[in-house]
Amino acid sequence: MCNEPRKLCEWDVPPAISKNGRLWTCGRPGRGVYGTEWKKIGDETVHMWVEGLPKAKVLHIVSLLGKKPDGRSEFWYYSFRSERERGVKPTFQQWLDDNVDGCFCVHEFPTTDRQGIPERLKDEVVDCITTLLQQDCTVVIVDSAGAERTARICEDLGCKKKKGGRAD
């Protein structure tokens, strides 16, 4: 059994926000295969992660990936980078566009792992997701483990974990 994406979980969206929008959370690509190991993640593992994501006409990925507490980039693992980082590697959005069938839209809100989310940034993320859900979009929020930062956003939206939804 494939463990990607790790901790994939669907959340009930309050009807006041959306009747048909869907909200999911999960860990970053490779977390299900390698756990917390600090090693490069091959594109084949990222493909497994993408294949395990919910299907949608357009899948909106809200990335909370940014830095580890020691300053290392959470994109170091991959053959792509954050749109907020300089470098020659393609951005996460470009990598998806060039390597995966389907339509994805990446929204990046860099945070620091194990440091919570600053209120102002949390408000920006909640506003972005609210707008997407009001448009009946499917949204996946991603952090390192798929548990802490993602859950804080869902709670601020007034969402509850769906009963019977997959969570590793």
Is 3 part of any domain? no
> What is the domain-level CATH number for residue 40?
3.90.190.10
Domain count, the chain: 1
Percent of the chain's residues with pLDDT above 70 = 96
Q: Which of 161, 147, 141, 153 is nearest to 12 (CA)?
A: 161
Contact 74, 28 (CB under 8 A): yes
4 inside domain: no
Q: pLDDT, tens digit, for every residue of 94-117?
A: 999 999 999 999 999 999 999 989
pLDDT of residue 166: 61
Q: Is residue 165 situated within a structural domain?
A: no
3-state secondary structure of 2: coil
Alpha helix positions (H), the chain: 31-34, 43-52, 92-99, 119-134, 148-157
Question: What pLDDT, in 10s, does the model give residues 25-46?
Answer: 999 999 999 999 999 999 999 9
Question: Which phi and psi angles does 120 have, rounded to 5°?
Answer: -60, -40
> What is the rounded CA–CA span in Å between residue 158 and residue 63?
19
Question: Does 50 fall in a domain?
Answer: yes
In a domain? residue 155:
yes
The residue segments making up the domain with residue 150 are: 9-160
